[in-house]
Amino acid sequence: MAWLVAGLGNPGERYANTRHNIGSMVAMVMAERSSERFRKVRFIPLDVAEVRVDDDAVYLATSHRYMNEAGPSYASFAKKRDVGAGHLIAVHDDIDLAFGALKVKLGGSSAGHNGLKSLQSALGTPEFLRVRLGVGRPPGRQDAADFVLDPFAKREQADVDVLIEEAADAALSLVREGLVATQDRYNRGGADS
């Protein structure tokens, strides 16, 4: 059985440590844990590392395209590797969750998240798994789009590191134990909940 972990984010150094890139950071941590390297996929603008989880192939992917146009890349790779929507795990930032919160779910709306919109459109269904990582709401009147493109504050970094590790564990748990067991174990509120 094959799985795809889509670490949503934007390409390039400019965005590497921003809130919007936390999904990519999770995919990178998962590859590092298995000492696997990302490789460019031919004809699809993705970098992919393959890890084994028990008897399953798990593809960890980050896109070369900006988040709002990356959906077709993930969908194309999933089709090529025969990964159904129910085995696609989108890992992404979520401003509707308190900072530090982690929620795992199946399906639902995009809630204005451009990466999810693009993925839903390309897959033709919202019925894929999501590991949602709370980055909190923008302070004051700051625009949400600007907020997610800012790096995490230094004071947040230790909590972010823990969140990334737990999200990686949750993604592996989805493969090994399924949705309900993973939700029971990993769903939690954030620092201010």
Q: What is the pLDDT confidence band of residue 4, given thresholds at 50, 70 and 90? A: very high
Specify if 191 maps to a domain. no
pLDDT on residue 62: 97
Specify if 27 maps to a domain. yes
- Is the pLDDT at 5 greater than 50? The verdict is yes
What is the distance between the alpha carbons of residues 19 and 100, in angstroms, rounded to a whole number?
11
Specify if 84 maps to a domain. yes
Specify if 193 maps to a domain. no
Domain enclosing residue 182, as ranges: 2-186
Specify if 131 maps to a domain. yes
pLDDT one-digit tens code per residue, 41-50: 999 999 999 9
**CATH number where 78 lies:** 3.40.50.1470
- Is the pLDDT at 191 greater than 80? The verdict is no
Q: What is the pLDDT confidence band of residue 190, given thresholds at 50, 70 and 90? A: low
Compare 115 and 189 and report the one with higher pLDDT.
Answer: 115
Specify if 192 maps to a domain. no
Q: Is 20 a catalytic residue?
A: yes
Whole-angstrom CA distances from 78 to 47, 95, 108, 155, 169 are 13, 27, 20, 37, 22
- Which residue is catalytic, options 20, 87, 92, 113? 20
- According to DSSP, the β-strands at 2-7 and 88-94 are parallel
Phi, psi of 95 (to 5 degrees): -75, -15
pLDDT one-digit tens code per residue, 132-171: 999 999 988 999 989 999 999 999 999 999 999 999 999 9
Phi, psi of 107 (to 5 degrees): 70, -170
Burial of 35 (0-12, 13-18, 19+ CB in 10 A): exposed
Number of domains in the chain: 1
